[in-house]
Amino acid sequence: MHDKTLTELKAGLANGEYSSRELTEHFLARIKQFDGELNSFITVTEEQALAQADAADQAIAAGQAGLLTGLPIAHKDIFCTEGVRTSCGSKMLDSFIAPYTATVVEKMAAEGAVMLGKTNMDEFAMGSSNETSWYGAVKNPWDLERVPGGSSGGAAACLGARLAPAATGTDTGGSIRQPAALNNVTGLKPTYGRVSRWGMIAFASSLDQAGPMGQSAEDCALMLQAMAGHDHRDSTSLNEKVDDYLGALNEDISGLTIGIPEEFFPATLDGAIADNSRAAIRELEKLGAKVVSVSLPSIKLSVPAYYVIAPAEASSNLSRFDGVRFGHRCDDPQDLEDLYKRSRSEGFGDEVKRRILVGTYALSAGYYDAYYRRAQQVRRLIRDDFARAFEKVDVLMGPTAPETAFKLGAKKDDPVSMYMADVFTIGVNLAGLPALSMPTGFINGLPTGTQVIGNYFREGQILNVAHKYQQATDWHRQLPAFGGEQ
Strand partners, 106: none
61-107 residue pLDDT tens: 999 999 999 999 999 999 999 999 999 999 999 999 999 999 999 99
Q: Is 175 a catalytic residue?
A: yes
Rg, Å, the chain Cα set: 21
Marked catalytic residue, from 10, 20, 40, 76:
76
- Domain of 112, in residue numbers: 6-251
| Rounded Cα distance, 102 and 30, in Å | 27
- Packed helices 103-110 and 217-227: angle between N→C axes, nearest 10 degrees: 100
Amino acid occupying residue 25: E
429 within some domain? no
User: How many Cα atoms within 13 Å fall on the side-chain side of residue 56?
Assistant: 32
Number of domains comprising the chain: 1
Q: Report the number of secondary-structure helices (H) and strands (E) in the chain.
A: 15, 11
Q: Is 76 a catalytic residue?
A: yes
| Rounded Cα distance, 181 and 186, in Å | 7
pTM, two decimal places: 0.96
Residue 483: what pLDDT? 83
413-426 residue pLDDT tens: 888 889 999 999 99
| Rounded Cα distance, 72 and 53, in Å | 8
Amino acid occupying residue 176: I
Q: Is 364 a catalytic residue?
A: no
276 within some domain? no
| Rounded Cα distance, 33 and 37, in Å | 9
Residue 390: what pLDDT? 98
Q: For residue 151, is the peptide bond before it cis, meaning its omega torsion is within 30 degrees of 0?
A: yes
Mean pLDDT within 214-242? 97
List all residues 6 or more positions away from 75 whose beta carbon is below 8 Å from its beta carbon: 81, 104, 105, 115, 117, 118, 119, 167, 168
Marked catalytic residue, from 40, 87, 151, 196:
151
411 within some domain? no
Mean pLDDT within 211-221? 98
List all residues 6 or more positions away from 241 whose beta carbon is below 8 Å from its beta carbon: none
CB 475 within 8 A of CB 441: yes
471 within some domain? no
384 within some domain? no
Residue 361: what pLDDT? 94
CA 450 to chain centre: 15
* Backbone φ, ψ for residue 202 (5° rounding): -80, 140
pLDDT band at 365 (very low <50, low <70, confident <90, very high): confident
* Backbone φ, ψ for residue 261 (5° rounding): -65, 125
395 within some domain? no
Residue 485: what pLDDT? 52
CB 318 within 8 A of CB 352: yes
Amino acid occupying residue 420: M
| Rounded Cα distance, 378 and 41, in Å | 37
End-to-end CA distance of the chain: 9
CA distances from 324 to 131, 217, 400 (A): 28, 44, 41
Is 486's pLDDT higher than 60?
no
140-184 residue pLDDT tens: 999 999 999 999 999 999 999 999 999 999 999 999 999 999 999
270 within some domain? no
Marked catalytic residue, from 175, 196, 216, 315:
175
Residue 393: what pLDDT? 98
Mean pLDDT within 249-278? 97
430 within some domain? no
| Rounded Cα distance, 319 and 389, in Å | 38
Supply the mean pLDDT for the chain: 96
| Rounded Cα distance, 170 and 341, in Å | 29
CATH code at position 117: 3.90.1300.10
